[in-house]
Chains A and B, each alone.
Chain A
Amino acid sequence: MESYALLLAATLNAGTVLAIAALGLLINEKAGVVNLGAEGMMLCAALAGFATVVHSGSDWLGFAAGMGAGALLAALFGVLVIWLNTNQYATGLALSLFGLGFSAFAGIGYVQAKLPERVQHHIPWLGDIPWLGPALFRQHPLVYATMLFCAALIWWLYRTRAGLVLRSVGESPESAHALGYPVRRIRLLAVVTGGALCGLSGAYLSVVYTPLWVEGMVAGKGWIALALTTFATWRPSRALLGAYLFGGVTMLQFHLQSVGVDVPSQWMTMLPYLATILVLALISRNPAWIRINKPASLGRPFHPGA
């Protein structure tokens, strides 16, 4: 029984990495921009965060550095895609590739470095509740912050005027433009915010989750996060749940291996990916549902006054 509490705890931790990035990418896509460069941004941010903690000893500075790196790369992407109208998919891929190579290159000196001792977190009193305590209340603060952020995002997107403006930019930039909103600047803001969140996710990965730096360490999580936004049909709560689902199945397959389940480990490793496809297929079955939720201008360039 105890091990299931720990499994749940591990799920929340693993899912948080994906969730932060997925929520950031969701903000992007709500404004109508697809940024396939998530992997590259996360990698550069992971390096930036790690290096900052090595030199300064402060985790929070590391997170800030990661967010900055992500935002910077996203801004570069944004200028190309929003002002020069380059193809969003191609530009995103270029960013991914560049980020991979650049972080590997710049990070060479940090591969053997190590961080100051990582702390085990434990909410006083709550963390001592049998079963629930270890399951839910011994996480890094960012895990809880992510859940709060998701709730805040939902409120902001659907209950505030600013959120409405963002969504309308994503649905119909032409109309928003006609109404006088600075569409391109709003898109850029969304892209930069999304990049900062991807950056935070990358920094969390290298500073808290697996506290070391090695090239390519994001190992595909950026792509998974992208997949999750589609999987979530662009609704934040679904993105969060999807992230936990994916993280959970990943931890589950290792757990099952350790318990000695008699299935080849390769099939187990496939589980999270198959699960994602299956749930996606079930969700997408209703095309009307997709049409309602997908930002109509997603992926398409916007020409003001064309």
Chain B
Amino acid sequence: MSDPHKRSLLKLAALTAIAAVTLAGCGKKEEAAPAASAPAAPAKAEPLKVAFAYVGPVGDGGWTFAHDNGRKAVEKEFGDKVVTSFVEKVPESADAERVIRDMVGQGNQLIFGTTFGYMEPMLKVAADNKGVKFEHATGYKTADNMRTYDSRTYEGAYMAGVIAGAMTKNNTLGVVGSIPIPEVIRNINSFTLGAQSVNPKIKTKVVWVNEWFNPPKETEAATALINGGADVLMQNTDSSAVLQTAEKMGKRAFGWDSDMTAYGPKAHLGSAVINWGPYYVKAVRDALEGKWATGQTWWGVKEGAIDMVSLAADVPEATKQKVDAIRAGLKDGSHVIWKGPIVGQDGKEVLAKDAVADDKFLGGINFYIKGVEGKIPGGK
């Protein structure tokens, strides 16, 4: 091919590229006009636009998967009264603010942020958009148009502990910890409390992966725990790797966030699941009926947000009945998990006899109770 010929070919290519972008720009301007006028149109029985920001992929089979199931429950409940959308894998960084602002720009009236790290960005966007309602999961800061919600995962951990205490053969339990925030430490403690209630001799070992989701690392951590003697595992991480490792090595483990029976049929003892559906339906109903108000919500077994499901067939009948009793007790308020006397690792009492821990106490737990081995990373 001769040079002049090639030169003109390139010119053609460049012109085509420029033309394409220009045409696209023209096309967009036409689209932009109707989009701009939409918010001005009167909101008459228009569906409520609800948006969800997820930190992980909807297919993670764990945390985000559970949230997305909640979103689907909303769609099922309200049909064409709502229009839902989501953005997944939004990092807990400066990017989050942009995504949430964009959700507002897209006309969403109710926005759910499903991880702690969205707290500051949501606050900023909420301050700028007083007419939009924001719901933040697992956080602690609120505003007039932003409220927080969380689930009492520790109740699921406690019930798992009861089963673990009954099933362990060598009184050594293991937990694969994700990130050492109060929620996870509380879960480890609650797991231990549950096990101690049926088997006072157990001890709990903890290994931290310092991430929410990293299957190879979770596998390695689970292997280390099993090699160190643990025969029943619990996790606070988001994948099924821990359960699968237990399956491979002939030990037992629990599913977390969602029902993980299929991933380790022989190892699976039960799954501590979170059901966001009931809360999401309530929140959307609040918004639809104009009853939305700020506050802090923490739902558990009582409201249907937490459960221990799919217990294995070889769990003794007595244990199954105990779990059922606990579940019923949590539902009607007669069973309290965090009731004194509870003793810390150093032997000092952290909760006096018969004292009941309030939500404030529970929210700030940064110590291990007696029976848990090791030190909290960065803790005192």
Contacts and interface: CB of A to CB of B under 8 A. Distances in A.
Interface string B14-47: 0000000000000000000000000000000000
A114 B262 CA distance: 8
Interface stretch (B187-195, B219-227, B353-361): B219-227
Contacts of A266: 210, 377-378
Interface string B223-265: 1111111100000000111001001111000000000001100
Interface in A243-267: 250-251, 254-255, 257-260, 262, 264-266
Contacts of B131: none
Interface residues of B, number: 43
Given A217-B215, A258-B174, A269-B210, A210 B227 contact: no
Contacts of A259: 205, 228
Given A10-B227, A251-B224, A120 B205 contact: no
Contacts, number: 108
Contacts of A258: 174, 205-207, 224-225, 227-228, 230, 374
Nearest to A4: B227
Contacts of B226: 6
B30 to A, nearest CB: 31
Interface string B211-223: 0011111111101
B61 A219 contact: no
A258 to B, nearest CB: 4
B57 interface: yes
Contacts of B373: 260
B215 A210 contact: yes
A111 B61 contact: yes
A250 B207 CA distance: 13
A78 to B, nearest CB: 26
Interface of A: 3, 6-7, 10, 14, 108, 111-112, 114, 117-118, 120, 205, 209-212, 214-215, 217-219, 221, 250-251, 254-255, 257-260, 262, 264-266, 269
Given A6-B227, A259-B205, A265-B208, 11 more contacts: A6-B223, A211-B244, A214-B57, A214-B239, A219-B216, A254-B223, A255-B224, A257-B206, A258-B225, A258-B374, A266-B377
27 contacts: A6-B226, A10-B220, A10-B223, A111-B57, A111-B60, A210-B216, A210-B219, A210-B244, A211-B244, A212-B263, A214-B60, A217-B215, A219-B214, A251-B220, A254-B207, A255-B227, A257-B206, A257-B208, A257-B224, A257-B374, A258-B224, A258-B230, A259-B228, A262-B375, A264-B375, A265-B377, A269-B210
